[in-house]
């Protein structure tokens, strides 16, 4: 792993013209290395903007900071919350969507509960009621008939579970569905990306068994209490976090970054579509969009400013990618409005696109902003 380029910037001398100077990189600390290793086993959900590959860099930074309580305010796949937990932080994982919250509940908040072989046998056995919502609503759209029957059937059992067992069962169902769906996104309903991979052939029931084993294997406790909450970032009580990690969905220059458009099926599946509104006239039967000011060029600057203000009492670590809006100078200036010291680390990070045959590469620069 290449070391991140690192420099420390001071916003003194006018917020718009911060001074740059070099800072020596710190050697990886053992707790960071251990946490990165633990996080490598974290079950991988294909999730837009997930930071799986940046975990070793993030762990290095977290290890340098003081304090024992941390908020991961945009937890997504959960991998960063899990890394913080592995480093001994008392973690609050937050996302405004339900399925990231249930994943964090199963893996971050949960210290010792796993699904037994009997639990898994029951969850994959015959249904205990005749519900058929998934079978009928998504007929001809996603998965095979048998797969959809299994999803309804699994939920007939999940409705009798509570606590961490329920969360692991739902997280496993979500991971199973994400793995079986081509590219893990629900923006199309045909098999245009069907390349015959095992993941696309394996029955959902078997995916579920594998996913449950994967989640079971990463359950551990550190003695530091952790929790998972589902909230808009602007509604989180900001008091009591030594460290706040922010990884918001930046406005992309082109296209959009709507999580609901891509993952509506996973969101619905995580609550059995209860309380959610399906847009019946859409081809993909997607859910109504959840507004977030971070996704739009005209609102993201104010949203970031408000977020930094909200967590100004904590050390802020912010992830940012160069192919996003606003630019890095703006982020640095905004953070400098509430923090006396703003450090910027550049991580050269290659994204891979396309198939193996036609692989193309593009350089994207990942930044970490640290405000103290
Ligand atoms: C870039 S992703 C986070 C990725 C995560 N760090 C990971 O490694 O998987 C951004 C997340 O922010 C969530 N989000 C967007 N707007 C939000 C808001 N206003 N409040 C809370 N969460 C929000 C999205 O649901 C999404 O999961």
* pLDDT score at 1: 36
Q: How many residues does the chain have?
A: 372
Looking at residue 243, its pLDDT comes to 98
User: pLDDT tens, 290-304?
Assistant: 999 999 999 999 999
> How far, in Å, from the CA of 15 to the mean position of ligand 1?
28
Over the range 253-284, which residues count as b (16 or more CB within 10 Å of their CB) and which as e?
Answer: eeeebbbbbbbbbbbbbbebbeeeebeeeeeb
User: Residue 286's pLDDT is what?
Assistant: 97
The strand pairing partners of 90, in sequence order, are 69
Whole-number Å distance, alpha carbon 233 to ligand 1 midpoint, is 9
Asked, for residue 153, whether it belongs to a domain, the answer is yes
100 located within any domain? no
Residue 157 lies in a domain: yes
Which residues surround ligand 1 with Cβ inside 6 Å?
Answer: 47, 49-51, 74, 76-77, 79-80, 95-97, 100, 232-233, 247-249, 259, 292, 294
Question: For ligand 1, what atom is nearest to the CA of residue 231?
Answer: 21
pTM confidence score: 0.90
Identify the pLDDT of residue 28. Answer: 43
156 lies in some domain:
yes
The number of domains in the chain is 1
pLDDT tens-digit profile of 131-184? 999 999 999 999 999 999 999 999 999 999 999 999 999 999 999 999 999 999
Residue-wise DSSP of 127-173: -SS---HHHHHTTTTSS-HHHHHHHHHHHHHHTT--HHHHHHHHHHH
pLDDT of residue 364: 74
Q: Over the Cα atoms of the chain, what is R_g?
A: 21
Low-confidence stretches of the chain (pLDDT < 50) are 1-25, 27-29, 351-361
Virtual CA dihedral for 272, 204, 285, 184, nearest 10 degrees?
110
207 part of a folded domain: yes
Nearest CA to ligand 1 atom 27: 76
How much distance in Å is there from the Cα of 82 to the middle of ligand 1? 15
Within a domain: residue 160?
yes
Q: Is residue 212 part of a domain?
A: yes
Asked if residue 110 belongs to a domain, the reply is no
C-alpha 202 – ligand 1 centre gap (Å): 30
Looking at residue 256, its pLDDT comes to 80
- State which residues form the domain around 164: 115-219+253-291
């Amino acid at each position: 792993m290449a070391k991140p380029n690192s420099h420390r910037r001071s916003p003194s001398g006018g917020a718009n013209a911060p001074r740059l100077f070099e800072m020596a990189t710190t050697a990886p600390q053992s707790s960071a290395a251990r946490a990165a290793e633990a996080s490598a086993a974290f079950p991988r959900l294909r999730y837009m903007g997930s930071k799986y590959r940046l975990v070793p860099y993030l762990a290095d930074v977290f290890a340098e900071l003081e304090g024992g309580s941390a908020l991961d305010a945009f937890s997504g796949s959960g991998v960063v919350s899990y890394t913080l937990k592995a480093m001994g932080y008392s973690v609050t994982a937050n996302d405004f969507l339900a399925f990231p919250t249930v994943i964090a509940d199963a893996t971050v908040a949960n210290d010792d509960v796993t699904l037994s072989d009997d639990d898994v046998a029951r969850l994959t056995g015959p249904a205990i009621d005749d519900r058929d919502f998934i079978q009928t609503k998504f007929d001809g759209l996603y998965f095979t008939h048998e797969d959809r029957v299994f999803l309804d059937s699994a939920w007939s059992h999940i409705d009798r579970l509570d606590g961490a067992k329920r969360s692991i069962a739902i997280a496993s169902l979500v991971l199973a569905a994400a793995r079986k769906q081509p590219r893990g996104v629900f923006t199309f309903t045909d098999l245009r990306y069907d390349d015959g991979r095992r993941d696309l052939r394996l029955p959902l029931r078997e995916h579920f068994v594998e996913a449950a084993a994967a989640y079971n294997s990463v359950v551990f406790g550190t003695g530091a209490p952790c929790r998972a909450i589902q909230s808009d970032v602007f509604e989180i009580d900001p008091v009591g976090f030594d460290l706040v990690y922010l990884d918001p969905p930046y406005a992309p220059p082109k296209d959009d970054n709507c999580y609901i458009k891509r993952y509506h099926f996973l969101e619905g599946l995580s609550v059995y579509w209860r309380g959610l509104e399906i847009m019946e006239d859409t081809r993909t039967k997607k859910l109504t969009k959840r507004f977030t000011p971070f996704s739009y060029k005209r609102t993201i600057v104010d949203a970031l400013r408000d977020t930094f203000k909200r967590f100004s009492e904590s050390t802020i670590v912010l992830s940012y990618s160069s192919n996003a809006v606003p630019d890095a100078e703006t982020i640095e200036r905004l953070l400098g409005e509430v923090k006396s010291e703003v450090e910027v680390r550049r991580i050269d990070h290659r994204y891979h696109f396309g198939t193996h045959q036609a692989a193309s590469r593009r350089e994207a620069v990942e930044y970490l902003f640290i405000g103290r």
